[in-house]
């Protein structure tokens, strides 16, 4: 025991106090006074200098029961102090028996627990003295030698941990800690109740005094407590693991592990023997135990001290990591959920953690995959930048295409949050931030273009994190809040600067700029207003039907169409005028950014308060219906940014707005007028002219009529910049004095056309194309002179290949490389086409159109030339036949022209099988918008089905995408008219196909067309109709010749067998079609008599070999999903250089070999994104804007038509390639490829 000494006189001192403190009749006050005097004297005595014999009298009296059990608190407080001093002075030997000592210590702790409170309490100094004495003298260790010391120790620990909660002075906490540490150090065996009392403190809040006291005690006695703590946890686990089915038992085990985690944070040295025990728990069979241990260790490794823990227990770390392969998903999930702390704190173990996360991104359980993605969303910018690799982030992006929605949502949210936190650094051009994060929007936008399910999640992330509306929270509470429109627009442009063409297209699509006006969302709002909550005054059925139709159309685009439809109906029934007004403000194209932000927030807050269940649907509705990425507030900033050198995307946005939503320019026409005056900035002038042209055409009130501006526009009309001149011509047409101005321009062009240099010729021809369509009266004043020049001096002039050109076999020329002469020829065809369209409603329509239709058909028949023996440049021919086909498509919009074109429909249709990839793809891209808008006759819907043999996956996938989207989004009646009744026309077209023959191998190829059609269109509902149409084909004859009739009959038999086999494989009921079908009389004729009909029905036109093949195929065919389910997404564009070109020739088969190709601006946009053009001028813009990236070509060698077939076929058929052309072309191409490969190796 430590003795207290003082320097001074070495002579022993005797206690001077000699009064009695025990006896009858002693008043409390007198006793208190005596004890106070005794305490004062005892406190002054030094242990080394006291004569202990003098203490005997008071020593004995102090333990008298009359003192220890006295009623007065003061008496007991002073008595306790005196006894503490007696023990100090007698140390190291106590002058009391064990029983007396027990009573004394119980007396001590009873006084402290009941009396020691705040400093203001009575006798505080005495209690403080007592506690200090016990702490410094360590007399308390005498407890350990007493009988039944365990019970006393339990009481002491329990009382002290209760005492410390009174928020006493810090020094008192230190005294108590010293006392408890001394007891633990001196005791022979630590009572389990004492350990439980200590451990219980760790489950409290770590800011509590009891928690701090427990930490101090444990850290001071760690060496002695380690074994006891380990045994403590062992006892808990053993005691509660026998009844493994009891949740309460697992709860106790879970609490024990929570305690381990707390100890790991504050007293890690206690766990020296516990950590290996947790390691063993990771290996047990009981899932709940493994789960609890995995979670506990994961959280411990994730703490700030986790690195030290890993270093100290490497085996435990490795065993814990192996839980990534645990057979139970919940265990793997707990492992992953710990990863945030690992990534933040275990920098030295980054590789192991990265490997764990990379592996678990591919875990078979969706919850695990989602948890991995969620971890990264919780990390801060610096951690991700320095400790998460770009490859890892890209792996997370890959989960954006996961089959499970929860995984997609978490992956995309993680990417979005990371980009949002990194954007300020990207905006500041931080190279590290740009390298690490700038690609994220590109990936999210690609995902938004993939599937309907992924699109929903991607749209939300784009709206929340990539292109968020500014200052949403503040704008919702203040009418005069300012939003930074410039920063908002610059964020869009800055983000777009890191996007590829496919992602840029996705941004344009999501912007809501493109689409018909009024939009479906505006029509919905109008229908809601008319519906009036169900109280309808007139035309009730019409109003309800209109509302149902528009809701059906909108809800198809939601992840859960049924829920969306119910919510949209609920909103209509609510009939809240205030909500209607707010929604109308949001949908209005003239609403600025600040108004949009406020109206959107007010609308959603109103929905949340009135109908919270529909909030999700209306949020998506609002996001898609509003211009939240670009709106009229963006225009001034975009115009300013166009003037910069890096203005590509500002120009792209303004061009897109000009084409699809020129109404956004209404408040900004003065700025556009200023823009076109800046003649030094050609890019700004072009953008401004296009915008002015668009807004002038969309609203007569906004047309340019200022004299000075019109003079400038006239100069542009007569200038040599073709695009600027074209837009200037449209501005002139929209002006009030358009008659005189257009006539003046036409007169001037007519005089200069024959002598114009090449670029000026292109510009003049572009202007004439506009005037021919928009100002026909002015054009017709000089039409004789103009048309004569265009046809005779431009179109009919041969264009032989350049003998000095290195790549003379190329069949396509890139847009940027098109020579002015060819550009002018293409525009001349547009002049012819537009002139026909301008006269479409006049009596002279066919008179004007007939020579044009003949010319265009000739170009198709002769592969882009005007005669079969022409030696024109293959690149010129491909461009010319493409433009001829596109022109025929536009002319087919007019009924009288469509009838005239019908005789050449097959030649037009098989343009989609052109040997040149670019011709095929461009043709399809012009066809789809016209089909979507239903501007073309239904028979044109056959053309996509002719892509089945296309060697390029993206051509076929485009066709599939269009057919599936179109057929899904139309009514059942429209589907019959547009896709089902035309089936017999498909059989007729195949019977006339230049590759058709009755040979078995050829019929197998023809069967693929039928199967392709059936894959996309056939169902159990319409299979009877399709079979009926196939049978009806043998009850009529072809309108041209007997040969084609036999071809048609063979196709009829082939189709019937294919349909029967399909119906059998899919268990479809093939019943007789109950209705009547009128066959197309323009291609089919009735049979002359019943005898002929009977003969035809009895005759089998299929070869026996084909019949046997069909029979065998029907036996082996198994039910399978349609190609709609198996189709591949369009490939991503490749930015590689063009390989050597191969020779192309003009024949119509699809035996074309594969070839690499570079990116096209819209080559990855799915057909679901295609929407109809609002006017012909937009089509003109796309056709003559030759600014698309280049593509490599595929070429075909031509086979000669055999003499036998040339004798069999007459007239028009003689000009078509033979049925053997495809086979011979394949052989020639293979030889050419080998030759060029050998040549390349030699060089």
Is residue 40 pLDDT above 50, yes or no?
A: yes
Is residue 151 pLDDT above 60, yes or no?
A: yes
Ranges assigned E (strand) in 663-792: none
CA 143/CA 507 separation, integer angstroms: 80
The single-letter DSSP state of residue 463 is I
Tokens of 92: 């190291």
Is residue 494 pLDDT above 90, yes or no?
A: yes
* pLDDT for 982: 94
CA 1170/CA 477 separation, integer angstroms: 39
Confidence category of residue 481, pLDDT binned at 50, 70, 90: low
Q: How far is CA 904 from CA 911, 1016, 1048, 1216, in A?
A: 11, 26, 18, 12
Cα 254 from chain centre:
38
Is residue 405 pLDDT above 70, yes or no?
A: yes
As a whole number, mean pLDDT of residues 1039-1051 equals 91
Is residue 474 pLDDT above 60, yes or no?
A: no
DSSP string, 108-151: HHHHHHHH---TTSTTHHHHHHHHHHHHHH-GGGGGGGSTTHHH
Cβ-based burial of 9 (10 A; exposed 0-12, middle 13-18, buried ≥19): exposed
| Partners of residue 1134 on adjacent β-strands | 1158
Confidence category of residue 14, pLDDT binned at 50, 70, 90: confident
The single-letter DSSP state of residue 518 is S
Is residue 421 pLDDT above 60, yes or no?
A: yes
* pLDDT for 643: 85
As a whole number, mean pLDDT of residues 748-760 equals 91
The single-letter DSSP state of residue 794 is I
CA 494/CA 492 separation, integer angstroms: 6
* Range in 27-31, 603-607, 808-812, 831-835 the model is least confident about: 808-812
Tokens of 464: 């929340």
Query: Cβ distance 236 to 257 under 8 Å?
Result: no
* pLDDT for 859: 93
Is residue 1081 pLDDT above 60, yes or no?
A: yes
Instruction: Count CB atoms within 10 A of the CB of residue 516.
Output: 14
Confidence category of residue 1080, pLDDT binned at 50, 70, 90: very high
* pLDDT for 295: 92
DSSP H/E element including 1085: strand 1084-1086
Q: pLDDT of 512-545, one tens digit each?
A: 998 888 899 999 999 999 988 878 878 888 999 9
Q: What are phi and psi of 1134, to 5 degrees?
A: -105, 135
User: In the Cβ-directed half-sphere of 226, how many Cα atoms lie within 13 Å?
Assistant: 12
* pLDDT for 142: 87
Helix (H, G, I), strand (E, B) or coil at 703: coil
DSSP string, 1113-1163: HHHH------HHHHPPPPPPPB-PPP-----------S-PPP---B--TTT
Q: pLDDT of 1162-1186, one tens digit each?
A: 323 333 333 333 344 444 443 443 3
As a whole number, mean pLDDT of residues 567-583 equals 93
Query: Cβ distance 1063 to 1070 under 8 Å?
Result: yes
CA 126/CA 37 separation, integer angstroms: 13
Alpha helices, H only, 388-439: 390-398, 405-427, 431-437
Mean predicted lDDT score pLDDT of the chain: 84
DSSP H/E element including 1086: strand 1084-1086
Q: pLDDT of 388-397, one tens digit each?
A: 999 999 999 9
As a whole number, mean pLDDT of residues 400-429 equals 94
Closest CA to 110 of 169, 148, 145, 69: 69
Closest CA to 828 of 800, 774, 788: 788
**Residues whose CB falls within 8 Å of the CB of residue 831, separated by 6 or more in sequence, listed in order:** 765, 768, 769, 772, 786, 787, 790
User: Long-range contacts of range 514-520, CB-CB < 8 Å, 24 or more positions apart?
Assistant: 514/656, 514/659, 514/660, 514/661, 514/1171, 515/660, 515/1171, 516/1171, 516/1172, 516/1174, 517/589, 517/661, 517/663, 517/1174, 519/587, 519/625, 520/550, 520/553, 520/554
The single-letter DSSP state of residue 190 is -
Share of the chain above pLDDT 90, in %: 52
Q: What are phi and psi of 1130, to 5 degrees?
A: -60, 140
493 or 45, which is more confident? 493
As a whole number, mean pLDDT of residues 765-792 equals 93
* pLDDT for 246: 60
Is residue 955 pLDDT above 90, yes or no?
A: yes
* Range in 120-134, 431-445, 1171-1185 the model is least confident about: 1171-1185
Q: How far is CA 481 from CA 471, 477, 900, in A?
A: 9, 8, 62
Confidence category of residue 804, pLDDT binned at 50, 70, 90: low
Sign of CA dihedral 561, 562, 563, 569: positive
Instruction: Count CB atoms within 10 A of the CB of residue 1200.
Output: 11
CA 632/CA 896 separation, integer angstroms: 41
Residues in the chain: 1243
Confidence category of residue 373, pLDDT binned at 50, 70, 90: very high
The two most distant CA atoms of the chain are separated, in Å, by 153
Helix (H, G, I), strand (E, B) or coil at 1190: coil
User: In the Cβ-directed half-sphere of 596, how many Cα atoms lie within 13 Å?
Assistant: 24
Is residue 35 pLDDT above 60, yes or no?
A: yes
* pLDDT for 534: 79
CA 438/CA 830 separation, integer angstroms: 42
pTM > 0.85: yes or no: no
As a whole number, mean pLDDT of residues 61-82 equals 88
Q: pLDDT of 1001-1034, one tens digit each?
A: 999 999 999 999 999 999 999 999 999 999 999 9
* pLDDT for 205: 67
Closest CA to 380 of 406, 341, 349: 341
Query: 532's torsion region: left (phi>0), alpha (psi -120 to 50) or beta?
Result: left
* pLDDT for 117: 80
Query: Cβ distance 240 to 180 under 8 Å?
Result: no
CA 1213/CA 1205 separation, integer angstroms: 10
CA 691/CA 676 separation, integer angstroms: 10
Q: pLDDT of 698-710, one tens digit each?
A: 888 888 888 899 9
* pLDDT for 12: 77
Is the bond leading into 92 cis (omega within 30 degrees of zero)? yes
Q: What is the CA radius of gyration of the chain?
A: 45
User: In the Cβ-directed half-sphere of 192, how many Cα atoms lie within 13 Å?
Assistant: 7
Closest CA to 668 of 652, 687, 645: 687
Tokens of 341: 């702390």
DSSP string, 147-172: TTHHHHHHHHHHHHHHHGGG---HHH
As a whole number, mean pLDDT of residues 326-348 equals 91
Closest CA to 886 of 932, 946, 845, 834: 834
Query: Cβ distance 886 to 911 under 8 Å?
Result: no
Q: pLDDT of 1089-1122, one tens digit each?
A: 999 999 999 999 999 999 999 988 877 765 544 4
Is residue 1135 pLDDT above 90, yes or no?
A: no
Tokens of 404: 């499970």
* pLDDT for 1176: 43
**Residues whose CB falls within 8 Å of the CB of residue 157, separated by 6 or more in sequence, listed in order:** 180, 183, 194, 197, 198
CA 936/CA 889 separation, integer angstroms: 8
407 or 1226, which is more confident? 407
Q: pLDDT of 207-265, one tens digit each?
A: 688 888 888 999 998 888 888 888 888 887 777 665 555 666 678 888 888 888 888 88
Query: Cβ distance 1103 to 1001 under 8 Å?
Result: no
């Amino acid at each position: 025991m430590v003795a207290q000494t003082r320097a001074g006189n070495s002579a022993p001192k005797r206690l001077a106090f000699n009064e009695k403190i025990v006896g009858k009749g002693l008043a409390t006050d007198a006793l208190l006074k005596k004890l106070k005097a005794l305490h004062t004297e005892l406190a002054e005595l030094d242990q080394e200098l006291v004569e202990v014999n003098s203490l005997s009298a008071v020593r004995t009296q102090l333990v008298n029961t009359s003192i220890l059990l006295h009623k007065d608190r003061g008496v007991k407080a002073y008595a306790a102090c005196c006894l503490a001093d007696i023990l100090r002075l007698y140390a190291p030997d106590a002058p009391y028996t064990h029983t007396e000592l027990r009573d004394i210590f119980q007396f001590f702790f009873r006084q402290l627990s009941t009396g020691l409170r705040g400093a203001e309490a009575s006798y505080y100094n005495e209690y403080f003295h007592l506690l200090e004495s016990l702490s410094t003298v360590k007399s308390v260790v005498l407890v350990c030698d007493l009988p039944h010391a365990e019970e006393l120790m339990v009481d002491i620990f329990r009382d002290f941990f209760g005492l410390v909660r009174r928020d006493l002075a810090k020094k008192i906490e230190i005294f108590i800690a010293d006392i408890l540490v001394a007891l633990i150090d001196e005791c022979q065996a630590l009572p389990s109740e004492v350990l439980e009392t200590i451990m219980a403190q760790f489950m409290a809040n770590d800011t509590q005094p009891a928690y701090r006291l427990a930490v101090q005690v444990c850290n001071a006695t760690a060496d002695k407590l380690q074994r006891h703590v380990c045994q403590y946890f062992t006892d808990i686990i053993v005691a509660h693991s026998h009844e493994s089915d009891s949740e309460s038992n697992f709860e106790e085990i879970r609490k024990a592990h929570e305690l381990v985690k707390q100890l790991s944070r504050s007293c890690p040295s206690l766990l020296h023997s516990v950590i290996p025990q947790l390691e063993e728990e990771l290996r047990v069979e009981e899932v709940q135990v493994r789960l609890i241990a995995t979670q506990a260790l994961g959280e411990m490794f994730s703490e700030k001290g986790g690195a030290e823990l890993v270093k100290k227990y490497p085996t435990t770390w490795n065993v814990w990591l192996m839980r990534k392969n645990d057979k139970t998903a919940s265990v793997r999930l707990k492992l992953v959920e710990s990863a945030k702390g690992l990534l933040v704190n275990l920098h030295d173990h980054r590789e192991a953690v990265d490997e764990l996360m990379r592996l678990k991104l591919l875990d078979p359980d969706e919850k695990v995959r989602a948890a991995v993605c969620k971890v990264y969303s919780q990390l801060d910018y610096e951690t991700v930048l320095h400790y998460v690799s770009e490859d890892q982030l890209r792996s997370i992006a890959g989960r954006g295409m996961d089959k499970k929605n929860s995984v997609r949502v978490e992956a995309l949210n993680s990417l979005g949050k990371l980009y949002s936190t990194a954007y300020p650094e990207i905006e500041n051009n931080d190279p590290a931030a740009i390298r690490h994060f700038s690609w994220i929007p590109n990936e999210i936008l690609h995902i938004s273009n993939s599937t309907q399910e992924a699109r929903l999640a991607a749209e939300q992330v784009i709206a929340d994190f990539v292109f968020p509306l500014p200052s949403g929270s503040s704008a919702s509470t203040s009418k005069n809040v300012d939003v930074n429109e410039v920063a908002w627009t610059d964020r869009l442009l800055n983000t777009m600067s890191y996007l590829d063409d496919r992602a840029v297209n996705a941004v344009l699509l999501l912007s809501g700029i493109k689409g018909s006006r009024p939009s479906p969302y505006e029509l919905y709002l109008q229908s809601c207003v008319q519906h009036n909550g169900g109280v309808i005054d007139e035309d009730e059925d019409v109003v309800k039907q209109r509302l149902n139709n528009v809701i059906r159309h909108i809800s198809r685009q939601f992840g859960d169409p049924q829920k969306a439809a119910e919510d949209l109906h609920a909103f209509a029934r609510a009939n809240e005028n205030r909500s209607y007004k707010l929604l109308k403000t949001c949908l209005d194209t003239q609403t600025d950014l600040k108004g949009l932000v406020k109206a959107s927030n007010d609308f959603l807050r109103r929905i949340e308060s009135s109908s919270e269940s529909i909030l999700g649907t209306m949020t998506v509705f609002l996001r898609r219906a509003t211009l939240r990425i670009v709106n009229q507030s963006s225009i001034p900033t975009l115009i300013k940014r166009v003037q910069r050198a890096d203005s590509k995307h500002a120009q792209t946005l303004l061009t897109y707005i000009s084409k699809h939503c020129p109404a956004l320019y209404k408040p900004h026409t003065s700025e556009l007028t200023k823009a076109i005056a800046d003649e030094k900035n050609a890019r700004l002038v072009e953008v401004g002219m296009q915008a002015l042209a668009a807004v002038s055409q969309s609203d007569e009130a906004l047309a340019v009529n200022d004299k000075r501006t019109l003079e400038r526009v006239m100069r542009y009309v007569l200038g040599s910049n073709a695009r600027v001149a074209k837009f200037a011509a449209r501005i002139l047409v929209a002006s009030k004095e358009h008659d005189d101005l257009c006539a003046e321009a036409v007169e001037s062009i007519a005089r200069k056309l024959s002598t114009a240099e090449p670029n000026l010729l292109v510009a003049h021809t572009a202007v004439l194309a506009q005037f021919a369509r928009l100002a026909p009266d002015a054009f017709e004043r000089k039409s004789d002179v103009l048309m004569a020049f265009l046809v005779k001096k431009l179109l009919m002039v041969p264009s032989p290949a350049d003998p000095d050109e290195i790549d003379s076999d190329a069949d396509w020329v890139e847009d940027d490389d098109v020579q002015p002469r060819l550009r002018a020829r293409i525009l001349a065809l547009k002049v012819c086409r537009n002139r026909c369209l301008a006269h479409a409603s006049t009596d002279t329509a066919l008179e004007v159109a007939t020579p044009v239709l003949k010319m265009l058909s000739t170009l198709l028949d002769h592969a882009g030339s005007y005669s079969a023996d022409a030696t024109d440049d293959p690149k010129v021919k491909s461009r010319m036949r493409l433009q001829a086909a596109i022109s025929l498509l536009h002319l087919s919009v007019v009924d009288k022209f469509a009838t005239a074109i019908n005789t050449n429909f097959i030649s037009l249709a098989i343009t989609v099988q052109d040997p040149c990839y670019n011709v095929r793809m461009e043709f399809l891209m012009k066809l789809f918008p016209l089909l979507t808008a239903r501007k073309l006759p239904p028979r044109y819907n056959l053309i996509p089905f002719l892509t089945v043999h296309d060697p390029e996956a993206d051509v076929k996938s485009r066709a599939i995408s269009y057919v599936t989207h179109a057929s899904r989004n139309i009514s059942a009646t429209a589907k019959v008219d547009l896709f089902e009744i035309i089936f017999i026309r498909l059989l007729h077209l195949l019977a006339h196909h230049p590759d058709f023959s009755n040979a078995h191998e050829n019929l197998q190829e023809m069967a693929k067309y039928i199967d392709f059609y059936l894959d996309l269109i056939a169902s159990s509902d319409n299979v009877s109709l399709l079979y009926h149409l196939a049978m009806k084909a043998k009850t009529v004859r072809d309108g041209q010749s007997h040969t084609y009739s036999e071809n048609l009959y063979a196709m009829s038999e082939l189709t019937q067998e294919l349909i029967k086999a399909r119906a059998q494989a899919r268990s479809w009921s093939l019943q007789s079609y109950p209705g009547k079908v009128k066959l197309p009389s323009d291609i089919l004729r009735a049979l002359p008599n019943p005898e002929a009909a009977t003969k035809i029905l009895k005759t089998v036109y299929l070869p026996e070999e084909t019949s046997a093949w069909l029979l065998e195929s029907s036996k082996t065919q198994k039910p399978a999903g349609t190609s709609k389910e198996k189709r591949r997404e369009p490939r991503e564009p490749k930015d590689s250089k063009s390989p050597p070109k191969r020779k192309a020739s003009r024949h119509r088969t699809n035996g074309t070999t594969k070839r690499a190709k570079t990116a096209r601006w819209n080559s990855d946009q799915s057909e679901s994104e295609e929407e109809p053009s609002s006017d012909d001028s937009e089509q003109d813009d796309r056709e003559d804007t030759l600014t698309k990236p280049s593509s490599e070509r595929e070429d075909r060698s031509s086979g000669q038509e055999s003499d036998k077939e040339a004798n069999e076929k007459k007239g028009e058929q003689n000009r078509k390639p033979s049925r053997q052309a495809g086979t011979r072309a394949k052989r020639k191409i293979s030889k050419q490829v080998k030759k060029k490969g050998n040549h390349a190796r030699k060089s």
